[in-house]
Each structure stands twice: as structure tokens, then as C-alpha cells.
Amino acid sequence: MGITRVRRKIAEKIWGGRTPDEVLSKRFKIFVFIGIFLIGMFAVYRYFIGITFLPNFEWIIPVLVVTGSFSLYCGPSKFWRIVTRYFGVLAVISAFIVWFIMYGILPIHAFVWSGFIFAWLLAMRNKLSMFNKFKKLLWRTTLTAAIAIILFDVWTGLVGSTLTMGGSLWIVFLGQIPFTLFHLVSLVFVPPLVGLGKMMVRVKISVPVAVAAGAGVRARIKK
């Protein structure tokens, strides 16, 4: 009984709050942390799975796009305003540090990591709300992620590879087509990320409901 009570208090401390605004700000912070963690862990994933195994199947762009597409209020703290405003930069830096420790730096990395920043900046133009309908959010974020992937591949493949590795632009272009088509498979990460965001905004709110005269006002719980 004591353990259950402790677990409940811990869950309330992490997941709950005294007001709906406090609950939402906590959950948005968790959502941001999850995004930074997932992007930072990508280099670790590559270390164990290998760089050559499905090299263009990644979740960095989907995470950047989904997180960047939402307007996330994490409270009045100046620190969290900076974190949410520069999430893409912070997340990419976290992944870059891990990648640098494991693999070092190559010239092409300047195009790769700047390409991720471009994807995040593109997503920030959406300014979506997690309270919108799931279908609308899924459509907008999936479309944005698809455009971001194509632009990323043009920047890193056609421009970056040609400038840093040499070779014919035409040959690079022909090789880039199947690479990009398979890269678009990474869009499978968008639906669960959007679903996670929608799940986090499900907050119980006390709503005053008028009843028969003389009975006063009762509050019912509405999701």
C-alpha cells in the first residue's frame, strides 16, 4: 500500500499539477525532453547497428518536424522559453556531440547537420496547436516532414556530396533518387510522435455546470 502511494505521488509530481496550465507545461517539457533524447540517441543507435545499415532510415527529421510544428508553452521560466524556441539547435547539438565522440568529423557533416536545422526551421512555420484534430495535425506534419526530407537530400546529396566528395552531378542525381524514395519511409515515425503529443494534452478540467434552481452549481469532470 505504501509503495503504491509513493508511486502515485511520483507520477503526480512528474505528470500532474495543481492547475491545467501547470499540467500542460509539465507535459510539454516531457515532450521536449523526449525529442532531445531521441535525437541524441540516434548516434548511439548508428554505433550499434552500423552506419551502412539502412543509412537513410532515420527519425531525426520526423522528431524535429513534429516538435517544431507545435507551439509548446512550458511555463513562464526564461530557461524553458529558450529551450522551446531553440529546441532544434539544442537537439541537433546533442546528437552532434555524441556523433563526434564516436565517429569524428567529416566535411559532409557540415551539410548534414545544417540540413537538420533547416528541417526544424521549416517545421516552425506551421505553428500548430496540439488541441487541433489528430487528422489535421498528422496531415500537416507528414507533409512538412516529406518536404523536409526531400530538401535535406537535395542539400546533403546533390550539393554536399558533389562539393565534398567530387564526382558528376548527374551521377549523384541518379543515385539520389532511390536513396530519397527510401528516405521517405522515415515518415512512419510521424504518426506515433503526433499521437504522443495528442495523448499528453488530455487533461482533466473542472467545468462548472448549472443545474436546477436552488440546487447550486456542481462541477463535473470533463476530459
Distance between CA 161 and CA 117 in Å, rounded? Answer: 18
The pTM assigned to this predicted structure is 0.77
The ranges assigned to domains in the chain are 10-222
Q: How far is CA 176 from the centre of its chain?
A: 26
Residue 105 confidence (pLDDT): 76
CA distances from 17 to 57, 84, 195, 204, 205 (A): 38, 20, 22, 11, 12
Close Cβ partners of 73 (under 8 Å, ≥ 6 residues apart): 21, 24, 25, 28, 84
Distance, CA of 117 to CA of 14 (rounded, Å):
30
The one-digit pLDDT tens for each residue of the chain (223 residues) are: 455 665 555 555 555 556 666 677 777 778 888 888 888 788 778 777 766 667 778 888 999 999 888 876 656 666 666 666 666 677 777 777 777 776 677 787 788 888 988 998 898 888 888 788 889 899 999 999 999 999 999 998 888 888 877 767 788 888 888 889 989 999 999 999 999 888 877 655 555 555 555 555 554 444 4
| pLDDT value at residue 101 | 74
SS3 label, residue 206: strand
